[in-house]
Amino acid sequence: MSGIKGKVVVITGASSGIGEATARLLARQGAHVVLGARRTDRLEALTKAITADGGSARYRALDVTRREDMQSFVEFALGAFGRVDVIINNAGVMPLSKLEVLKIDEWNRMIDVNIRGVLHGIAAGLPLMKKQRSGQFINISSLGGHKVVPTAAVYCATKSAVMAISEGLRQEVGGDIRVTVISPGVTESELAESITDPFSQKAMEDFRRIAIPAESIAKAIAFAIEQPDGVDVSEIIVRPTASDF
């Protein structure tokens, strides 16, 4: 099933940023989008906007750190549309700080959302895709998965893990199921709002002055989805032209 029109696409972290932009773009291109996040008020508004524009969308509250929640979310999509063609594991957090500040709760939150969230998405979707003998996982990593910088050691570690998990999955399921990693550079989103460390907040303000729109990442995701079934776009890095990182 090549192209985008008619595909059922599940998106985590869909209430803002890259997730929201991707939902809007794919719906315009004819996909059935199923949106998950914790902020259901935003999901409801987004679903209404997509529907009003002639698109097809459903939403459900989702906490990706809970495996049973992710399982129910995928089953919800299956019940609504009869299949699941693409799972976009997009939910992520980025509370940056130097290791010496010892924000251990924030480290654990990044591990839970950025790594376990992706694994839960794979666990929920893989049996279904194997039964269908088709499907695609699109896992959102980061440029930080390629390069480590001060204040981002744990975040970069989680995004490196997403890359390793994705490559392992690709090697294991190649043939019927595609696996894509999208690694954004600095992008307009609410990720930076989770930073509580003052030093890191100031550094991020300066860093984000060249941020690209979330729709730029959505277009990369759409490109990976629309390829023929026999073509697996393994990874795309998207960053500002002016970026030196």
d(CA 233, CA 104): 35
Report pLDDT for 188. 78
Report pLDDT for 45. 98
d(CA 142, CA 157): 10
| Residue 20 binned pLDDT confidence (cut-offs 50, 70, 90) | very high
Distance separating the N- and C-terminal Cα atoms of the chain: 37
Q: What is the crossing angle of helices 153-173 and 117-132, to 10°? A: 10
Q: What is the mean pLDDT of residues 125-134?
A: 97
Among 53-67, 176-190, 214-228, whose mean pLDDT is lowest? Answer: 176-190
- The one catalytic residue among 36, 155, 162, 170: 155
* 59 assigned to active site: no
* Residue-wise burial string across 139-171, b where 16 or more C-beta atoms lie within 10 A, e elsewhere: bbbbbbbbeeeebbebbbbbbbbbbebbeebbe
Residues whose CB falls within 8 Å of the CB of residue 108, separated by 6 or more in sequence, listed in order: none
Q: For the whole model, what pTM was predicted?
A: 0.94
| Residue 221 binned pLDDT confidence (cut-offs 50, 70, 90) | very high
d(CA 7, CA 225): 9
At 148-192, the pLDDT tens digits run: 999 999 999 999 999 999 999 999 998 899 999 999 998 876 565
User: In terms of Cα–Cα distance, which of 131, 218, 140, 217 is closest to 180?
Assistant: 140
Quick check: is 245 in a domain?
Answer: no
As for how many domains the chain has, the answer is 1
Q: What is the mean pLDDT of residues 208-216?
A: 85
Quick check: is 143 in a domain?
Answer: yes
Quick check: is 2 in a domain?
Answer: no
Domain that holds residue 75: 8-238
Quick check: is 244 in a domain?
Answer: no
Q: Which residues are paired to 61 by β-bridges?
A: 37
Q: What is the mean pLDDT of residues 55-65?
A: 98
CATH number at residue 120: 3.40.50.720
Q: How far is CA 217 from the centre of its chain?
A: 10
Quick check: is 243 in a domain?
Answer: no
Averaged confidence pLDDT in the chain: 93
| Residue 86 binned pLDDT confidence (cut-offs 50, 70, 90) | very high
d(CA 225, CA 33): 13
Quick check: is 3 in a domain?
Answer: no
| Residue 77 binned pLDDT confidence (cut-offs 50, 70, 90) | very high
pLDDT beyond 90 at 216: yes
Continuous H helices in the chain: 17-28, 40-52, 67-81, 104-110, 117-132, 153-173, 198-207, 214-226
Cβ-contact 166, 173 below 8 angstroms: no
pLDDT beyond 60 at 219: yes
